[in-house]
Every structure is written in C-alpha cells, then in structure tokens.
Structure 1
Amino acid sequence: MTLISAPAGYGKTTLVCEWLAGCERPAAWLSLEQGDTELTRFLTYMISALQTLSENIGEGARSVLRSPQPAPTVSILTALLNELSTIPFPFILVLDDYHAASSREVDEAICFLLDHLPTQMHLVLTTRENPAISLPRLRARDQLTELRAADMRFTLPEAEVLFNHVMELNLSMDHITELQSRTEGWAAGLRLAAISIQEDHDAGRLLQSFTGNHHFVLDYLAEEVLQRQPSAVQDFLLRTSILDRMCGSLCDDMVPHPEISGNEMLIGLDRKNLFVVPLDRERRWYRYHHLFADILRRRLLESMDDSDIYELHQRASIWYEGHGFEIEAFHHAVEARDITRSSRLLQGGGMPLHLRGAAGMALDWLDSLPSKELDVRPELWVYYGSALLIAGKPTGVEQKLRAAEAALEGMEQDAGVKELIGWIAATRATLASLMLADDHQGAESNLQVAEAAMQVSGLEDKTDELVGLITPPWNAGKNETDGIVEVIAQSRRALAYLRPDNLPARTASAWMLGVACQRRGDYAEACDAYNEVIANCRMLDHQLMGVTAIIGIAQIREAEGRHDLAAERYREALRLADGLPHPAINEAQTGLERMRRVIESGMKGNRIEPLSQREIEVLQLIAQGLSNREIAEKLFLALDTVKGHNRRIFEKLHVQRRTEAIARARELNLI
C-alpha cells in the first residue's frame, strides 16, 4: 500500500494523478465523499471502479450486495479477492479522500483486503487523516510507502518553479522566499498567493496582507477545514488558537469541561492532519500551521467578547508561570491587559526578563503604557531604560533613567529602592562607556553612531554588540579622561547598590570598571574588577565578557613586563573563546605572538626592556613613515607625549634614530 496523508490543499490528488500518468500500470480510481461510510455503498462503488479494468470483475460480489439478506462481509470480500486474483496484469486501486468514507466497517474491510491482497494489486490511499488500519504491521513487513505533509511541502526551488515558470509571474527570490515561509510550503497557499498576484500584479502589497485572513485563504480554510469539524473540535481550535505552542495539560486549562482530554484532542487533530505541527518526537508539544492559526484567531475575535479573550490569556499565563515558562507567562499577561501581573512577571524573580531574551517583548509592552502607570511603578522606568540598551537603542535611555529617578524621589531607600539605584548606575556606566568611542562629533553623536551600528544586526539581544562597541583599552579614544571618570564613578556606585546575587548587572558593571581602570593605569583595581567578571561569567555562562576580562588581565601583565604571565592569560582566553567571532580574540592571538617573540628574544640573549603596547603602536606608525605630529593625530595624543614615546623606544632598542629603530624592531620581530 501507498499512503499519502496530509491536510487539505497539499496536492495529494494531483501527485497521484501525475504518478499514475508515468507509472505505466492500469489503475482504478474511486473518489470518496461524505456518506460513503456505509459499507455496502462503499463496496458497490469500489467494484464499479475496478470494473474499469475488467468489465465483469466483482459481479458476483455486487449481486450478493444487492440481495435482501447479504452474506457476511468476509464472504463478500473473499469472493471479490478471488476474482481480482484472476486479473492477468499488475494494477492499482486508488481510494482518493479515504477520510470521507472511513468508518469501523470500511476500515475493517480494507484491513481484510490488505491481509489477502493479490500479488498483482497495489492499493493507494490519499487521506487528510491517518486511517484506522494497522499501519505498524505493514511497516514491519516493509509493505507500506508513506508520504506525509513534510514530504509534500514545496521547497524554495519548487516554489520558484511554480511562481516563475508555471504561473509566469517573474517574482524576485526575496518575494518567493517570504511566500514560501508564510505558507510553510503548503501547495494550496502558494497557489492562492499566485492567483492573488495575477489579479493584483503587486507581490509586495500581497505580502503585507497575505495571512490566514486573506480572503482566498480564509474562504479555502473555512470551507475545506474548519466548518467540517464538530462543534466541540471547533471550540477547542478557537480557544487554543491564542497559543504559540500547545501541550495536553495546557489545553485542559484553556477549555472548560472538555469532552476529552487536551492530550487526546491533540493526538486526534494530529491523526486527522488538521494543520497541527508536532514540535518534538514524543509529540507532547504542537503548534498550528501559521495560516490556519491566523484564521482561527480571526474567528475567535468574531465569536468572543474581549473580556472572554482576556480570560483565555489569563488562563494561559497562569499555566505557563506554574510550569516555569516565565517569558510565555509574561506575553499572555500582557495580552490579558493585566498590568500588575505583567509587571511582576517582568521582574523575573530578580533577573528581569529583558535580560533573558525578551527585550523586544518588554519594550513593546512598556511603549504601550501611559506615563502615570510607569510613575507608580518606578522599576518599570528602570527596566525601560535597561531594555532599550539591550535592544541597541541607547539614545533614548537617559530620559527613562531620569523619569525613574523622579518617580523614586522621596521614597525610603529600602532594599528594593537601592537595587533600582544600582540598576540606574549600571545603565549609565554603559552609556558613558559607549560615549568613549573614537568620534569627532562628541559623546552624544557617539551614541547615535553606536545605535546605528547595533540596528544592523537582526538579533533582539544586542549584548554582544554592546561589548564590542565599548571601546576596549587597547584602542583608546580621544577626550577620554572625563568619560573614564564617569564610567568608574557609575560602575562603583552600581556595585555598591546592587544585590550580590544580581549577577548580570554586577558583571557588566565590574567589566566596565575594569576596562576604565585599565585605561587609566589603575591596574590593581582593574584586575580586581576583571576577576569578579571572570568568576561571575562561569556561573552565568557568558563567554564573551569573561574572555575579554582575561585578555584585559593579560594586557596588564604585559604592561608590567611579566611576559610569562601575560602569555598564560592570552592562551587561556583563546582556549575559552573557542573560535568566538570578536575583535578581542584577534588581540589575544596577536598578544600571544607578541609575548612569544619577546620571550624568545630574551632566551637568545637579545635582552631588551620590553616595549609597552602603546610604544609598539607608535613604532608601527614610525615604520609607516608618519611624522610625530601625524602619529599624535592618529592616536589622539599630545605631540609631547609622542616625543616621549620616541625617546623611550630609542632607549629600549639602544638606537639613536628612526631608521635604526625600525631595523632593530624588525630584527627582533617586534613589527
């Protein structure tokens, strides 16, 4: 038997027709309809279909079916099988839309046929739901070929052929990719989209409106799928349509007084191929096909009052929170318009949800709230600013922080208020760090440049981008003195106020403190801060910030002339980075190579006082032919500072002029 089982509109019938046209075997075809579940009617139609292969086949069985007292089903089927076995050539029987005729009696008859099928006969079933016949037994005997929705979905190249070669629409690959994604390769969805584009001649406009609520899709799904379901199934579909994913016990809480359990209903929907998609091999979690979910949600809005829909979201939020899914619980609390519950869930029991992958969701909600609601909950102003930063939008952060401070003014500084003060300071330390970037337009412009750079990425959480943009100590910028003082002050304030167990905020503050102190030359405080970062990152499993802290310590040891310790730290950073794509990793690699050359030079007797990192930068620019003034402008240093670096370079290399310094440096593999 060949079983082709998929939801409506996946092209099952079309596929079998094309296959039959090329397989060079005669075939009998029976298209089944609602009402063909009665066994006598089913067998009568099946015999009529088989008679297209051999005119008199099954006449004996059909005459028995017409008699006032028909014989037992087994006797009728045995007689039919005996006649089929006399057909002298291989043939195929197709039962199209078998789900329409499926009943206990019909299923039993098909099982009997399969158990005694003549060798020259092959059975093909197309169906929207799994038939109640013994598929596992057929699989075990290797007597079953199965095609499912996953096999029937249009791939991107197939969708391109449909749109541009069959329908001759000349769509761009971007448009085709978007349509293939929205339909999830559903053949009818792609065809309906193509028809719409033919009518409108505007693929871009169609993409803006092509959902389950598009009139073609809506009509198809409503007529072919939804209206054919029993009322209990329709009620289940509508109530659970608000869920992005479903499991049995969650559905139980969404549907009051269900006739069957949520788990049984989901298994039944899966068996019926009712546009549900299993999300795991155990089939515990499911979701609806996106276009089907769209039409269900529209029907829900049409059939329920807002208050009833809010209650559904409240039920979902309570279930998700009780099972440890806090982000999902927050989403449904927001949809339920429950500000108190949403605010509590956003706090995340000490680690706000915007730090756990929900920055965009948090911002959407906070953007929707009036200021008076935020003023009575100052923590929301604080999270607003912090979430903007995580989302890569630093230019709007300070306004939220000031609103938070205004709302906190006059409040007793209990543990909760102190924590918020620490959050504000940590957020301001990040802003001050971003303002240290190399830019000729001033600190405020630096925030705009940073924001533009971070918005290039499609990621919702911009933490890694923030780490990359905060000017690292090996690439110091101009006008950094005042900025560094601000970073240090805010970072220290944050660490003084934040709870010891608020590891995300404390780690970020300690890292920025370490960077600023290293740049200012306060190596002892920098190392203390970096060590806290490294310890916290082991608990948080935050790879990037921990690696950059280790590199910072390596650079400090290098500046102190402790080359063995520096090399050890560079190696540790590279080992932990494990191919992490970030400029800091390149610094670890070049730093380790630099230490190797210095150590080897010392072992060969070329004992010179090691050059600092800044001195090597100056030496490289000297080798490029830049003048002292040009070097000063390039590195944002005073001219006298550059001249001082030159003197120390000449002294350490034991040379008198620039050309000698360049030659000596190349001899020692320093440049």
Structure 2
Amino acid sequence: MSTVWYEANGLETEAFHHAAAANDIERAERLIEGGRIPLHSLGVVTAILDWLDSLPKTVLDVRPRLWVRSATSTLMAGRTTGVEEKLQAAEKAMQNADPDDKTRDLIGQIAAIRATLALLRYQPEETIVQARRALETLHADNLPFRSRAIWTLGFAHQLQGDRAAARQVYTEAISIRQASGNIYLTILATTGLGQIQESENQLCQAAETYQRSVQLLSDQGPPNASEEFLGLARIYYEWNDLDTAEQYAQQSLQLARQYDRAVDRFVICEVFLARLKLARGDVAEAAAMLAETEQSVRQSNFVQRMPEVAAAQVLTLLRQGDVAAAARLVQTHDLPISRARVLLAQGDAVKALAALEPWRRQTEEKGWQDERLKAMVLQTVALHAHGDEDKAAQLLAEALALAEPGGFIRLFIDEGPPMAELLTRMKDEGGTLRVKEYIHKLLAAFGHQEEFHPSSLILHPSFEPLSGRELEILVLITRGLSNREIGERLFLALDTVKGHNRRIFDKLQVQSRTEAIARARELGLL
C-alpha cells in the first residue's frame, strides 16, 4: 500500500479518537463505517469497542448498526461473551424498520457474525446455514461481510473434511478481499488456504502462505493471528527446526490466550508445545503439560479437543513405558493411529496392520493427503515389525516419494530406531536421485553423518542441485504451465518466476523448457 494510504489511514484514526472524545456520535459512526480505519489493529479495535460500550443503550437502539459493529469488534478483540446479546439487541431495535436494502444488509451482517460464532463452537452445519443466509441478504456491494460469510463457509467445509470445497471457497474469499480491501478478512482466508496446503503436504507453499498473512499483521495483531503462527510452528517442526517451531508456537499461544476462555485455541498450542517437549526428550515435562491441558479442556467442556490431547498423551505414555495406560486411553477415543501404536508396543504387528489398513483406505477416499502419509509411514514400521521387509521397503519408498517435496523430517524421525533401520537398508537401493538424497538427509537427522556421493553427480560434476522451489517450478513447467500461470499458482511475481527459470536452466545447462524437461528426466529429478 502507498504512503499516501497510510497517511490518510492515520488521519482517519486520529479523527475517530477526536470525535469519540467529543461525543460526536454521528461523525464517529461515519468514520468507523468509512472503511479507512485499520480494523486489523487490535489497539484500534479495542478503542472502538470501548467507545461503543460506553454509549447508552438508548443511543444504540436508535442506531442498530452500532450494535452490530459492537458485536463485530467484540469478536475481533478475541471475545465471544456478549456477542449474541448484542445481535439480539440489534434485531429488537430493527423490528419497526422499513424492509429496505439497508435493513436487509444489516440482517445479513448479523447472520455473518452468527456464522462466525457457530464456527468458533465447531458447529459446521449451523455455520453453513447462517453463512448462506448472510450471502442471500447482504448487499452486493458489502464486500467485507460477503467475504466474511464466504470464509466461514470455507472453514465449515474444512471442519467437515471437504478440503477441496474449502480451498475453492478460500480462494474466492481472497479474490473478493482484493476488491474490498479488507485486510482482516484477507488474513483469515489466506490462513485457511495455508491450512489446506499444509493438509495436502505442500509445506513450502503453506509456509509462504502463512508468512503472507503474518506480513499483513500489525505489531499487535488480533488473537486470530495465532493460527498463522501455529501453522508455521507445525511446518518448522516437520523440517526439524525445533527452535523456530517453539518460537512460533509461543507467539501463537500468547495470542490465543487473548481470547476469552470460551474459545479453545490455546488448547491446540499447548498440545503442540507438549509434543515439542517430547521430541526433545523431556517426557516428564510433556506429561505434566498435557495433564494441565486435559484439566482445562474438561473444565471448559471442550470435548472436541479431547482426541488431540489423548493422542499426545498416548505418545507420552508409550515413551514412559506405560503401555497399559496407553491401551486404556485408546479405548475411549476413535484414534486409529494411536491404537496401532499401542498394538505395536504390545508386540501385535498383525492387529496393528489390521487397524491401519481401513484408516488408510478412508483417508485415500477422502483425499486427506496428510493423514494418508502418516498411516503409510506407520504401516512400514508395522510391516517391519511383522518381518515383511520387502513390503515394508516398497511402501516406504512410496511414502518417501510423497514426503520428499514437502521436506518432511520429523514424520520419519519420530518413529525412532525401527525407521532408522529401514532407511539404512534402503539407502543404496534403486530410486531417483532426489529420493536417495532424501534418505541420506533423513539418516543425517537421525545422527548418521555418512556423506552421499550419487553416481549421477559423478557423471555430471558440474550439476548444482536444484532448490525445493526450483524443483516445484520445474514440475509445473513439465505440466505446460506458462510463467504467468506458475506465478498465479505459487503466488509469485512474474519476474520472480522468470528468475527461477534462469537459475534452473543454468544449473541444468540447457537453453529451453524442452531441454530442461529432458535433462531433469535424465538426472532422475522427475
């Protein structure tokens, strides 16, 4: 955005403060509704909310739009208490209003806010009902609230497991935001898209998407920013950068705790941090953290979060050697992966495989790439425990091919010595150059520091390996996408794509796309 925009933006904010201090209600209302005050800034949102809450009920009743703005600001400030009461007050104040476009639009705004409330309570069906009602009644030009309603639809689809529908809706919401200029909703929709990319194992793309959301945040972003930081924490954990992962997770938890206790976002952060403790070998601390989180979950009746807590507790109990307690825990929750881990700990690989197979089929049918990959990796460990080394190696090769583009490391390291043994056996077997390099990278993460000298690099000593982004662009080139289409797909500027192309051509020592594709296939990169 230009310097002129920021200067005007600052003036509008200052003008609002003066109007509020002078109790000039009409001017303050015009400034709030003018769309130039930075509502993604928590400080400004709080100031607006404080002013609205200071107004007498009689003033708000003759201006129901201010009731709705108060409800919206309450949510943006990370609070849910009182939101529904404010919406009901707005509806009561509108009872005798003319059924014109302005009234219908305000009814649509109320429905959009109720869709958000339902979403925070993990009620996807109610979210969809309210979001569709909002889209039916909102004015066509009310792009901020239309994009809010569309975003909640996307999240509801995501909760229902329909990730393809969620991706489509998030993309639409981002497109509408570009016309409306609403940064707050840009962050929500962009983060939702990042979560879908992450669930599709596109970790590099997801990290870039989350970072775009973070860049839009002010120094004191709204509490919903906890989602971006937690997404980055999960990705850096997978990349085995535990320090960066912890830094992002702590930022996420700090923001999540700004919500009132009716919102469960802090639970997700605490479970992640406990998993991080476990990865660092601090089992006792992980167990203590999870015990506190479980207590909070039960006290707040966050029943939808109990499976996540239980899954982390199973891992912790198994690390403590308390297989019996872990077995009791999996009996109370539908956790196929956790159940398989307990069965393996009990020495029953056959039953572990029987538990994993239907779960993997279900993930494949639903297109859940992340859960499918987790199931495949654990299946290789179960096959290895069963003594079926050929099938274990074959399945692991498939899992490696799927995981390598995203740079997964902890997915394999967390399986411990059995996985290290499997990878050691596979390191000199067939496969593409990329997979061989990947295996050695994983073994290095396990502590095996053996140097890798693939034969193809000896045959082509001048070949410089492509980066993850360059390999990603090379794949899109093979699919026939133009530079502009690649930029749109990866959210990169056209000049950035062209720069990547030049480096790809230089590294492969080619002059054209056709030669690049042929050369990449010769080197086993595709």
Greater share of residues in helix:
2
**TM-score, L = length of structure 2:** 0.43
The structure whose RCO (Cα within 8 Å, separation 6+) is larger is: 2
**TM-score, L = length of structure 1:** 0.34
